[in-house]
Amino acid sequence: MFVIKKGKLVEFEQNKIRNAIIAAWNQVGMPNFKQVNEITRDITEELVNWNENIPVEEIENLVMSYLYRLEPEVARSYSAYKIKREQQIENPSEIDKVLLNSLEVSQENANKNTQFAHIKNAYLAEIPSKQAMREALPADCLEAHDRGAIHFHDSSYSIRPIHNCFDVNTKFITSDGLKSFADFRNGDRVSVLSLDGQYHNAIVKSFGKQKLYRYTFYNLKKEHTHDVLATENHRWILKDGKETTNLSIGDKLIKPPVIYKTYITDEEFFELNENYRERWCQGFALGDGVVEWNYHADGTKEFAKRTHIRLCGKKNKYLNRLLSIKNGKKRNTYFDNGDQEVVIFNYQKEIPDFNDLLELQCFINGLYCADGRTPKKNNNSKIIQSSNNKVIDFIRQYADTAGFYITSERDYSGRRTNLATRGYTISFSFNPDFHCSYTVKNKEFVREDEVWCLQVEDSHNFILEWGIPTGNCELLNLDELLQNGCEINSVWIEKPKSFRTACTVATQVLTHVAGNTYGGCTINLLHLAKFVDLSRQKIRRQVMQEISLLPLGISDPDYLNDKINQIVNMRLNDEIAQGMQTFQYQTNTLCSSVGQAVFLTVSVYLNEDPKYTDDLILIFKEMLRQRIQGLKNKNGVYENPNFPKILYMLDEDTMEGGKYYDVTRLCAECSAKRLVPDYMSVKKHMELKGVVTPSMGKRKLQPISNFSNSARTF
């Protein structure tokens, strides 16, 4: 016997009638189970006699008639339940969608199985956050989401704060001078200074509105303070190298990198090539030089193509430096106190364009030697004072980039001196060697506003204005974790010594990341390819040891070497198959306490590092073969695994006629059967971004067929 339900035929189940009666009876008192069983039996016998497919509504009406005749109060409860159930189906609330396992909920996240009770509980707990997010969304965005024009994914978690977010006007040190987030668009790339003293590529990110707090820092003296607007769970790196997302008053930050030499010795100076020496001399002339002019009878003037410098007192020691460049000449000018005079030809006290960081550092060093001084009360600080607008703007923009961190700025405009009243004059204090760390003086809530951050490659940290160091946005760098080791649950995991171990460690890292964040991870399969040769060499040593124990008596070394290579390749292929099987099983089965599996995207770019291309192809082909096969369900049927998502980068070598076209053909077979991988154009990436960067997919697909050590702690 079959029941017609929502236009479909489903098999009749007697227990559903019994459970519905018990549920209704529970609303009015303790059920009489003997009577429940009798009513269920009588209804079933009557339905069997109908001898046809029965609409579910007829069954419900029959239940109602029996209950009204025998237990009217239970009948009224059953009727109320029936009405509520119909409302849930026709106009479900967010709670109804979860409890009824609606299509919207079940397909929202491919890494969550909504059949499990603990995952339903997690979804129910998210509902208040989801409703709060709907109130925060602009009306046009909300309307577009509701009608399906856009999809706001994981809206229930979107109001969670994200580590390391700043006010849009926050400035940070770049290779092109001091910049703020307001100078960029979301997704722009920039090179920023990190704690290792190097400049690293970073991506500018916008993270929407969040609560901003004002953190007040001081260095050396409490009256010299600097404010930074950041989210409360901002990730900072402390003096001892540990990290915190709960910065408190009195906490001391790690020191910024020392990348600038306050004083360059003569020996160091003359080891520089003339280009760098000329930049130093130009910086010196900018500070102490006087431009010479040719004056005409009509009152006009023109640049005389030279700037002269009088070396007063102790500055005579720089004479040989200024004469070491071809444009530097000594004048035979006589001064009573023995001062020397030098002319720099073809330089008009302009700030030049700099080709690299060393040119900038040499220029600022020359400027400091001409115009700078060290206060008697503080030998750790340096001061440059200037009344030249161009020089003042230049120092503000570029001193930090050279590592000459500005720690305070004072305006001396209008002050009286022995000679006259000063015009526009700014005095800059610097701490190039940073003997003291920045300390938190105060913290207070400011407002809720748009927040921005950086994702910094390799180093995962950057330096703000004033030399204030900060950590990086949450960013998974699996390559670093595998190559340098990482800490998981206070256990140090060393660099894997084989490919299979690398696959296991990778899935453990990814699982911990998934359990402590919300969203997905994107990794590069190249990270794992780097461990293939370790296994190859390890297997070769084992084979050689085994052969040494056998009385082979083979005289042809080439034949023996071929046999060894065959055995090594055979065992290596077995290990790759086992490693990729481990990777696939664990990424699809390991879950956090809220039922979240690793939402993983794997990027494959065969030409990214030619050194590892052959090994990358080996493991990628195995990944594709296993994906084509699929994973068994409990009935023994192979199904399409949800993860990992795969992104395959297309270039000339992967297209028809290219040397890697066989890999692309295998990708096409996998796409036809399992809807992965997705394909991305290397050419377009380079045109639009200048770099190949993978993205991430979210929706569940149905098959066509059926981060110092502390930076790496999870």
Encode pLDDT of 283-293 as tens digits: 888 888 888 88
Instruction: Report angle CA 285, 287, 293 to the nearest 5 degrees.
Output: 55
Cβ neighbours of residue 539 under 8 Å, at least 6 residues apart? 568, 571, 572, 575
pLDDT at 526: 93
| Between 115 and 81, residue with greater pLDDT | 81
Please write the tens of the pLDDT for every residue from 219-248. Answer: 876 667 889 999 887 788 888 877 787 888
Res 129 pLDDT > 60: no
Res 349 pLDDT > 90: no
| Between 518 and 415, residue with greater pLDDT | 415
User: What is the pairing mode between strands 2-5 and 8-11?
Assistant: antiparallel
Looking at mean pLDDT, say which of 2-11, 409-418, 453-462, 675-684 comes out highest: 675-684
Could you give the C-alpha distances from 496 to 501, 503, 506, 572, 709, in angstroms and in order? 6, 9, 10, 16, 16
Which pTM value belongs to this model? 0.53
Least Cα distance to 483 among 521, 536, 534 occurs for: 534
Please give the single-letter amino acid code of residue 365.
Answer: N
The per-residue pLDDT of the chain, averaged, comes to 80
Q: Which of 79-88, 429-438, 674-683 has the lowest mean pLDDT?
A: 79-88
> SS3 of 152, please?
coil
Cβ neighbours of residue 347 under 8 Å, at least 6 residues apart? 282, 285, 289, 306, 307, 327
Question: What is the spatial distance between Cα 225 and Cα 407, in angstroms, rounded to a whole number?
Answer: 9
Please write the tens of the pLDDT for every residue from 427-450. Answer: 777 776 677 788 999 999 999 888
Quick one: average pLDDT of 625-632?
Answer: 93
* Number of helices followed by number of strands (H, E) in the chain: 21, 30
pLDDT at 551: 75
Please write the tens of the pLDDT for every residue from 450-488. Answer: 888 888 877 778 999 988 998 875 556 677 778 878 777
Quick one: average pLDDT of 212-217?
Answer: 92
Quick one: average pLDDT of 538-556?
Answer: 82
Please write the tens of the pLDDT for every residue from 147-205. Answer: 777 766 555 555 444 455 889 999 999 988 899 999 988 878 899 998 888 888 888 88
Question: What is the spatial distance between Cα 24 and Cα 15, in angstroms, rounded to a whole number?
Answer: 14
Quick one: what percent of the chain has pLDDT higher than 70?
A: 79
What domains can be seen in the chain, in order of their start residue?
2-91 (no CATH), 103-157 (no CATH), 166-258+436-471 (2.170.16.10), 266-430 (3.10.28.10), 478-712 (3.20.70.20)
pLDDT at 582: 93
Least Cα distance to 263 among 154, 169, 161, 374 occurs for: 374
